Structure 1
Amino acid sequence: MSEGDSGMEIVHLLREAIVELALTQGEFARNHGMHTTDVRALICLLDAGRAGDLLTPGRLGAQLGLNSAGTTSVIDRLERAGHLERLPDAHDRRRVRLKVSEQAVALGQGHFGPLIARTLDLLSTFDESEAAAVRRFLAGVRDAAQSRASG
């Protein structure tokens, strides 16, 4: 197998993994009466929370690529379902910050927990240099995808 064939095999495996993950995400959305955009919003909010930040509606909308009305619809749906809390901003009373509810975290852990556990089990079979290569590859793919608009 040539180097190009090997590279394309990895690209195809990555595509297959992305498709399977998207199907898993879609199943979670259907099972809990959500849009896939709602799940993406929860992921953005969880990622921000892990980084010690609570997003404003405007920042969430920017990450999702939604206008103000679309962002409000997502936030309202998630809040009505009990998946999201609006918290007053500690520094500006006019702003709110968004936080994923414990209920939503529990739902996510119930659905995605087994997949995460299997992924961590797989990663535990890699030595540190292999894990570093996987990390570097995935970060590079993420960066390439994020730069798609700039060509």
Structure 2
Amino acid sequence: MEGSEAAERARLRRELVDLLNAYSTEAQHIGHAFANQHRLHATDMQALLAVMQAERKGSPLTPGRLGETIGLTSGATTALIDRLERGGHLRRSRESTDRRVVHLRYAEAGMALAQTFFTPLAPRTDAVMNGFSVGELETVERFLNGMIGSLVSYRDELREN
């Protein structure tokens, strides 16, 4: 790699890390605002996001998998699910032929609260994405999936220690 290309790669690397950190911070501010408005804990928000993402992918979480995903013990996960269920944010669902298997779903009341809060953000993010071609968005998708994968790998490594 030529010297000027290496320098540019290093500059872009620093800039991208700073931008990812800034994005993460701003997303957390918005998440905290939603949590505060609805008297939720930070862990509640992590759980709700995990449940929503799993549902979007068509593979709803079990309580055990939720606990693994957000790093909680079985007892803490049960208390969290109970609290979110009482608040109308989550519901337990038995969809399997094995009635012992419980899946977690976003409850309609909780989804309505989230949609009301986050809907004003959608046109803003849509406007940004509309400025990119499909190919560019695919590159961003590949980049973000790789970065998330590296974070998850490191998180799992930290949990093992």
TM-score for both structures, normalised by structure 2? 0.86
CA distance, structure 2, for counterparts of residue 38 and residue 150 of structure 1: 24
Count how many residue pairs are aligned between Structure 1 and Structure 2: 151
The partner residue of 2:125 within 116, 119, 127 is 119
CA distance, structure 1, for counterparts of residue 76 and residue 107 of structure 2: 21
Residue in 1 aligned with 2:28? 22
What displacement does 1:26 show? 0.9
Over the aligned positions, Cα root-mean-square deviation in angstroms equals 1.7
Which range moves more in the overlay, 112-121 or 67-76? 112-121
CA distance, structure 1, for counterparts of residue 13 and residue 61 of structure 2: 37
Amino acid at match of 2:43: T
CA distance, structure 1, for counterparts of residue 87 and residue 152 of structure 2: 30
Describe how 1:22-101 pairs up with structure 2 within 5 A. Answer: 22-101=28-107
TM-score for both structures, normalised by structure 1? 0.91
CA distance, structure 1, for counterparts of residue 18 and residue 145 of structure 2: 17
Return structure 1 stretches of 4+ with deviation > 3 angstroms. Answer: none
Describe how 1:8-19 pairs up with structure 2 within 5 A. Answer: 8-19=14-25
CA distance, structure 1, for counterparts of residue 14 and residue 107 of structure 2: 41
| DSSP 3-state at the match of 1:147 | helix
Structure 1 gaps, min length 5: none
CA distance, structure 2, for counterparts of residue 13 and residue 39 of structure 1: 23
